[in-house]
Amino acid sequence: MAVDYDPFSEEAMRDPHPIYRELRAEGCPHFVENRRAWALTLYDDLKKASLNAKWLDYNHGQTPAQLMLGEPTPHTFMTMNAPDHRKWRGLLEPFYAAAAVDREVPRLKAIVDTELEALRGRETFDAYHEFANQVMCINAGYNLGVPRAQAIHARNLIDRMILNRVPGQVGASTPDSQQAAGELMGLLAEHVQRMRADPEAGGPHGRVLRDAEVDGKRLTDEDLLFYLFSLLVVGSETTPMAVAGTFYYLAKHPGQKAKVLADHGLLKDAFRETCRYDQPTNMLARRAATDFELNGAHVKQGDNLLFIYASANRDDRRFADPDSYDITRENDGDLSFGIGSHFCLGAYLAQTAASLMLNAVFDAVEDYEVVDEACERAYGEHLNGFIRMAIRPRWK
């Protein structure tokens, strides 16, 4: 019997992995009738579809809520098809290349050290909100010319809009998320006006977007607003979740934590394994640009396609013993950062920043524990992982 799956069901939004296991056992993409959506849960299916650009139409949105609930879709390169996608993404790509990110390490490290210094000596702290999320939003703000305090304020508004869901909530529909959205848009619209008035405003990435011409045209104020919003979101959300998860899963596997405490060089592997095991971007979505056949599925043009990265990363056809957390596993192909033309722009930054954050904490402590009752996971169809991670450090 076919599995009963709805990405917006209470069960799937709380902990989707048991359902993903059942869906993978079906051995092919699964059609979710009431959402007119194909759930791609197998590693090979997701990879094949990602690399087949002609099949995919990104124009209608990127998140499940945009495609299936009709939530507004910010117009940025993330929701563009080729050739526009290439042109717009290309403007920012130089900033995210490995060499460019490496040049930013001293600045990033200074942010990490300042934020950790403020926590040093505390009996417990929230490694998500008070540390990793803070570091990433300050960095994303710097890139767009948004000062520290305002970046943190914007980040809190984004959390209220997207992350702080109440159980049973479908989409970002509560009065509080709407109110936060209004406030955030007002704040970013003022920032766009500052960028227009002052050639120096906008930070290194914002200035490039403001001054760019693509096909002879400049970005409108609305375009800039969407870019600021989207880059603040993607630049500060998932990396902290995976950093928080790394603290958590190491604490739950004391043998592996002991190895890492003895050799901080293993933190990179631990972070990467956390991304595989507890993939923060649970799923992203697009539409079928044409009719096609994929592993027995007869996809029709206009059908929604759910790229369920969190499931592909646990596919036992690809990963041995996928439900176990193992920082020593040979991991040369997880789909944590996607694959194909929309591969994560910030993949190298995420890994570099995570490594700096984790190393800073591991350097500062003899050991740490996780305070389970003060941890919380995101609830929803889009993002997975911890959004509160209380740790009790034994400071050096």
CA dihedral 124, 128, 131, 134 (to 10 degrees): -150
Return the structure tokens found at 292.
Answer: 């096609």
Contact region with ligand HEM (CB under 6 A), list: 104-112, 157-165, 235-243, 364-372 = 235-243
Q: Is 342 in the site for ligand HEM (CB under 6 A)?
A: yes
Alpha helices by DSSP H, listed for 104-237, are 105-117, 133-144, 148-158, 175-197, 203-211, 221-236
Q: Are strands 56-57 and 125-126 parallel, antiparallel or unpaired?
A: unpaired
Q: Is 73 in the site for ligand HEM (CB under 6 A)?
A: no
Q: Count other C-beta atoms under 10 Å from residue 264's C-beta.
A: 15
Q: Is 246 in the site for ligand HEM (CB under 6 A)?
A: no
Q: Is 338 in the site for ligand HEM (CB under 6 A)?
A: yes
Radius of gyration of the chain (CA): 21
Contact region with ligand HEM (CB under 6 A), list: 9-17, 25-33, 217-225, 274-282 = 274-282
297: part of which helix (H) or strand (E)?
A: strand 297-299
Q: CB of residue 237 vs ligand HEM: minimum separation in angstroms?
A: 8
Q: Which residue in 336, 352, 355, 384 binds ligand HEM (CB under 6 A)?
A: 336
**Residue count at the site for ligand HEM (CB under 6 A)?**
24
Q: Is 40 in the site for ligand HEM (CB under 6 A)?
A: no
Q: Is 180 in the site for ligand HEM (CB under 6 A)?
A: no
The span from the CA of 341 to the CA of 391, in Å, is: 38
The span from the CA of 5 to the CA of 19, in Å, is: 7
CA-nearest of 208, 228, 205 to 218 is 208
Q: CB of residue 285 vs ligand HEM: minimum separation in angstroms?
A: 8
Q: Is 66 in the site for ligand HEM (CB under 6 A)?
A: no
Residue 259 CA to chain centroid, in angstroms?
28
Q: Which residue in 20, 337, 362, 379 binds ligand HEM (CB under 6 A)?
A: 337
The span from the CA of 151 to the CA of 130, in Å, is: 14
Q: Is 155 in the site for ligand HEM (CB under 6 A)?
A: no
Shorter beta-carbon distance to ligand HEM: residue 347 or 371: 347
Return the structure tokens found at 133.
Answer: 């999320």
Amino acid (1-letter code) at residue 184: L
Q: Is 37 in the site for ligand HEM (CB under 6 A)?
A: no
Q: CB of residue 49 vs ligand HEM: minimum separation in angstroms?
A: 10
Q: Which residue is nearest to ligand HEM (CB)?
A: 346
Q: Is 247 in the site for ligand HEM (CB under 6 A)?
A: no
The residue ranges that bind ligand HEM (CB under 6 A) are 62, 77-78, 89, 234-235, 238-239, 242, 275, 280-281, 284, 307, 309, 336-338, 342, 344-346, 349-350
